[in-house]
């Protein structure tokens, strides 16, 4: 039957009644279209996801088989344009097939928008759009949308059918888009986490029964059991790693450009299936008594909840209305209060699920924005590497954490921030200047970072860093204090001691006798750092040329998909990054003019800006001659960077010897400015 919420009446709304009604409805209907909910399987399917549709809709199954090759050849839209519009009404497609159908149609609809890295086209072909609308309506959705149900909950199949083990290692993606490691790991670890949470359903039912009977010991076992489940779910996060040394490694750059972008909301939908879409978080919020949803992430969660299938909404609402946390507090039983506090700690504590999840997010999101991801899946943040949107995302997650109760031992605690008394001590006394740090970015043989004036050599640590090598490479040659502080490394003794082993010295800043010279140095450093970040980001984004992008792909193969990725990277370099650098360079040159350093006339600056604007609009490298490794661009970027760094070094030297800038120093800066002008002009010609 088609879905009608009015047909589902969970009795008096009690927790056990909702679960019983859900199981009865599933048995009666022969499907789980109204939401996965059962004692044995929790929020996951009790029926194994279907591997095929009826013969009348076999074309959709064939599409699933062809998706990776259609991405590889960039022929997806052409393929769908020729596909017949298949009916999806009740008489044409039985209810039992709706979940497989909506999984295929939702995924393909979003794939259409983002399959070409060069541009996003949100127009869904009719062969997908029309049946997608029909299927979504039959599932009780107001409009076509891509939800967590089809993205994660139903989007798996057994790898080994005999074991029926639902760990991420024994599952495959049901509807793979590109069918690569990043897709499998990222989606299936979420399926595994959901399955690990299944016992929470029974524990909620047990809690209700124990409250009714006044069984304090039973409630103690429930609270302890819930804590253990949350710890298991948190532990499953280890099966997703940004570290190349892990067997669960998923490249943040590859993930963000091939998988994550495909779940970006279409224009008619405000949210995609992001982190707030998992029912685990909504259930735990209901259990611990979260009552504020005013943050950006909180508002997103409220909106997502309204899109949940009926059984999920009914169950979570019943748990919320039961006010379990308040009942525990009112009983005033110390052992039970402690056990419940253990659940809160496992969820919101410093080593709890939400904190671990936020740190995991931070291993992926910064790299994602730096390589051109336009927005989060939830649609809560939109921006670029220049605006450091990843810091905003982290702050939003942190703010939402404060909307939940804290473990009792932390109620009066507060973050002490960076421990300056520790940071100013150490055995490494070698001093380095900013120019030394800048000469250790991704374009050089060894990589350093700075954090709170410590200089760390991270070269040998890159591949074993738990947070991945890409995030460190993107920060190399720069001051990473803000990023290191955000993930709490300064406040974690174990991590901080590891950092100490990588420290090679200290960053010292020059002292100038005149403010004008100090300003000159600051401006030189600013431009050099911007250019270093540009080089790091370009390296990270073009590293995709050496990655496997689809299951049909041979690493390094000159496929249309890979070519379009490199063209999109070059396009961003040309249209987004170089204009910013060029404007900063001209501003710096203008400041030098004011200090009596000869650079180039004003009319030449205007001419250069005009050329830049023209090239922004017209540049389009030829596919046939495109070097996938971008060797020439990298070489020019490094040559430009070396001159930028030399200018910083020259200004550092001025501080140590002169009160005023000498004629020789001015002449040296003039030579370097002309070099930069020529190199930047050459770089613009090449991109």
Query: CB-based contacts of 455: which residues, under 8 Å, 6+ apart?
Result: 432, 436, 437, 448, 449, 503, 504, 505, 506, 507
Which residues are 455's β-sheet partners? 450, 505
Query: For 637-654, what is each residue's pLDDT tens digit?
Result: 999 999 999 999 999 988
Q: Which two tokens stand for residue 313?
A: 């909404």
Q: What is the pLDDT of residue 574?
A: 84
Give the span between the Cα atoms of 267 and 459, in whole angstroms: 43
Which uninterrupted H or E stretch holds 659? Answer: none
DSSP 40-84: TTBTS-SSPPPS---GGGHHHHHHHHHHHHHHHHT-HHHHHHHS-
Number of Cβ atoms within 10 Å of the Cβ of 121: 11
Q: At residue 249, what are phi and psi to the nearest 5 degrees?
A: -70, 130
Query: For 13-31, what is each residue's pLDDT tens digit?
Result: 599 999 999 999 999 999 9
Class of domain 55-407: mainly alpha
Q: What is the CATH number of domain 435-507?
A: 3.10.120.10
Query: For 81-113, what is each residue's pLDDT tens digit?
Result: 999 999 999 999 999 999 999 999 999 999 998
In the chain, which residues have pLDDT < 70?
1-13, 268-271, 373-387, 409-428, 602-621, 655-659, 686-687
| Distances in whole angstroms, Cα of residue 444 to Cα of each of 435, 441, 527, 683 | 13, 6, 18, 19
Q: Which two tokens stand for residue 230?
A: 């949350």
Give the span between the Cα atoms of 522 and 343, in whole angstroms: 50
Q: What is the pLDDT of residue 357?
A: 93
Whole-structure pTM value: 0.90
Give the span between the Cα atoms of 471 and 8, in whole angstroms: 48
Q: What is the pLDDT of residue 3?
A: 45
Indicate the SS3 state at residue 417.
coil
Residue indicated by tokens 């929020």? 43
Give the span between the Cα atoms of 182 and 248, in whole angstroms: 9
Q: Where exactly are the structural domains of the chain?
A: 55-407, 435-507, 515-686
Q: What is the pLDDT of residue 376?
A: 55
Residue 450 is classified by DSSP as: E
Q: What is the pLDDT of residue 628?
A: 87
Number of Cβ atoms within 10 Å of the Cβ of 411: 8
């Amino acid at each position: 039957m088609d879905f009608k919420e009015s047909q589902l009446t969970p009795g008096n709304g009690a927790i056990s009644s909702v679960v019983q009604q859900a199981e009865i409805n599933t048995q009666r209907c022969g499907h789980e279209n109204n939401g996965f909910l059962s004692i044995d399987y929790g929020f996951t399917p009790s029926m194994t996801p279907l591997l095929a549709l009826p013969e009348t809709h076999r074309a959709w199954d064939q599409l699933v088989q062809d998706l990776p090759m259609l991405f590889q050849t960039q022929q997806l839209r052409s393929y769908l344009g020729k596909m017949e519009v298949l009916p999806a009404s009740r008489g044409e497609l039985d209810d039992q097939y709706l979940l497989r159908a909506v999984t295929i149609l939702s995924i393909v609809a979003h794939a259409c928008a983002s399959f070409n890295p060069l541009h996003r086209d949100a127009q869904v072909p009719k062969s997908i759009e029309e049946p997608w609308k029909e299927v979504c309506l039959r599932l009780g959705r107001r409009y076509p949308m891509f939800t967590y149900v089809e993205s994660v909950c139903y989007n798996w199949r057994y790898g080994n059918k005999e074991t029926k083990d639902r760990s991420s290692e024994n599952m495959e993606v049901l509807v793979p888009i590109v069918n690569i490691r990043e897709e499998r790991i990222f989606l299936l670890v979420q399926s595994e986490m959901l399955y690990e949470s299944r016992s929470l359903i029974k524990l909620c039912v047990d809690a209700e029964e124990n409250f009714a009977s006044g069984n304090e010991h039973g409630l103690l076992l429930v609270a302890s059991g819930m804590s253990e489940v949350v710890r298991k779910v948190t532990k499953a996060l280890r099966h997703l790693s940004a570290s190349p040394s892990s067997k669960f490694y998923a490249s943040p750059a590859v993930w963000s450009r091939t998988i994550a972008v495909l779940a970006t909301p279409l224009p008619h939908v405000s949210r995609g299936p992001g982190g707030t879409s998992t029912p685990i978080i909504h259930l735990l919020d209901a259990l611990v008594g979260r009552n504020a949803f005013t943050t950006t992430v909180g508002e997103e969660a409220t909106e997502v909840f309204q899109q949940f299938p009926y059984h999920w909404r009914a169950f979570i609402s019943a748990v919320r209305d039961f006010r379990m946390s308040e009942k525990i507090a009112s009983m005033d039983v110390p052992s039970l209060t402690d056990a419940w506090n253990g659940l809160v700690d496992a969820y919101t504590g410093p080593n709890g699920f939400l904190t671990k999840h936020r740190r995991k997010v931070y291993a992926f999101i910064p790299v994602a924005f730096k390589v051109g991801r336009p927005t989060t899946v939830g649609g809560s943040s939109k921006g670029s590497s220049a605006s450091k949107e990843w810091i905003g995302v982290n702050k939003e997650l942190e703010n939402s954490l404060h909307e939940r109760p804290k473990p009792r031992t932390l109620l009066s605690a507060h973050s002490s921030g960076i421990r300056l008394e520790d940071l100013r001590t150490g055995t490494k006394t070698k001093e380095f200047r900013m120019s030394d740090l800048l000469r250790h970015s991704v374009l050089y043989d060894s990589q350093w970072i700075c954090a709170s004036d410590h200089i760390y050599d991270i070269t040998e640590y890159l591949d074993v860093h738990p947070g991945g090598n890409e995030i460190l490479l993107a920060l190399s040659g720069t001051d990473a204090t803000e990023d290191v502080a955000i993930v709490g490394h300064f406040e974690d003794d174990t991590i901080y001691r590891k950092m100490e082993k990588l420290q090679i010295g200290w960053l010292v800043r020059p002292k100038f006798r005149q403010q004008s010279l100090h300003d000159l140095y600051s401006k030189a450093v600013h431009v050099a750092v911007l250019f270093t970040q540009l080089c790091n980001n370009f390296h990270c984004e073009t590293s995709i040329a050496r990655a496997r992008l689809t299951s049909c792909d041979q690493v390094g193969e000159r496929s249309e998909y890979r070519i379009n990725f490199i063209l999109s990277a070059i396009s961003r370099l040309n249209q987004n990054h170089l204009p910013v650098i060029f404007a900063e360079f001209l501003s710096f040159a203008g400041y030098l003019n004011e200090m009596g350093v000869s650079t180039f006339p004003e009319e030449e600056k205007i001419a250069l800006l005009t050329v830049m604007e023209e090239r922004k609009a017209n540049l389009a490298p030829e596919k046939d001659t495109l070097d996938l490794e971008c060797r020439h661009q990298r070489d020019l970027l490094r040559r430009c960077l070396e001159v930028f760094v030399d200018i910083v070094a020259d200004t550092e030297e001025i501080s140590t010897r002169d009160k005023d800038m000498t004629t020789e120093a001015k002449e040296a800066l003039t030579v370097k400015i002309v070099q930069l002008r020529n190199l930047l002009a050459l770089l613009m010609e090449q991109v």
